[in-house]
Structure formats: structure tokens, C-alpha cells
Amino acid sequence: DTGVSQDPRHKITKRGQNVTFRCDPISEHNRLYWYRQTLGQGPEFLTYFQNEAQLEKSRLLSDRFSAERPKGSFSTLEIQRTEQGDSAMYLCASSFLNQPQHFGDGTRLSIL
């Protein structure tokens, strides 16, 4: 079990720029989840995949956000035209079906 890996750990960008984050789940896990966490709050669900299919997107996920998991392995989360309000920790988690989720270290996004 090598754990869930996220890259980069930190991203600082100017408002209006596009950013992309990557998540590598635990290899035998078929589900992959993205969450967002802001200061003083618990993680909030954004979207999840089962294998390569994106099965649900939260209303928190505006049109500027897109996620992919093209081969059912790693996933990317892209934010276009970043805004100040996008500053947060973006967490990835994986699981085998409804088993407990394993979380990565997260990507901290700061918008200047």
C-alpha cells in the first residue's frame, strides 16, 4: 500500500490562470474522490469516479472545474480562470467500492 499520491503539494498562481492537479490512487482502488477543504471546515465533496466514469459532480463544482480519470487510474482536476475563492486544499481519496476512503496529502492552492 503506497498510499494516495497528489501532485503538486503546493500551487501558487495568479488570478485568472489555469491550474491542474494530479492524483494517483491506491492501485487496486476503483473509486476516486475529490474534495475541497477551506480553513476551519471539513472536506467538502466535489466529484467522484468509479473506474473511468465520472458518476457525480457536486453543485460546488462550477463550469470552471473539470476532472478526468481517463484510464481508470490517475485523475486530474483542472480549474480554469482561477478566482480568489478557489484558494483551498484540494484532497483526493480512493477506495474499493464502499470501503473506507484513503486520503492523499492534498494540494494547497493559493491564488494571488
Partner 1 sequence: AQSVSQHNHHVILSEAASLELGCNYSYGGTVNLFWYVQYPGQHLQLLLKYFSGDPLVKGIKGFEAEFIKSKFSFNLRKPSVQWSDTAEYFCAVPSTGGGNKLTFGTGTQLKVEL
Q: Which of 19, 69, 104, 107 binds partner 1 (CB under 8 A)?
A: 104
Give the position of cell 475529490. 34
Which CA distances in Å does 60 have to 9, 37, 47, 86, 97?
Answer: 22, 12, 9, 11, 23
Which part of the chain contacts partner 1 (CB under 8 A), choosing from 15-23, 66-74, 79-87, 98-106? 98-106
For partner 1, the binding residues in 41-70 under the rule CB under 8 A are: 41-45, 48, 50, 55-56
97 scored as a contact of partner 1 (CB under 8 A): yes
Q: Please select the residue that binds partner 1; options are 2, 27, 28, 40, rule is CB under 8 A.
A: 40
44-60 as b/e: b if 16+ CB within 10 A: eebbbbeeeeeeebeee
Min dist. Cβ of residue 5 to partner 1 (A): 10
Cβ burial, residue 20 (10 Å; 0-12/13-18/19+): middle
Q: Give the interface with partner 1 as residue ranges (CB under 8 A).
A: 3-4, 31, 33, 35, 40-45, 48, 50, 55-56, 91, 93, 95, 97-98, 100-106
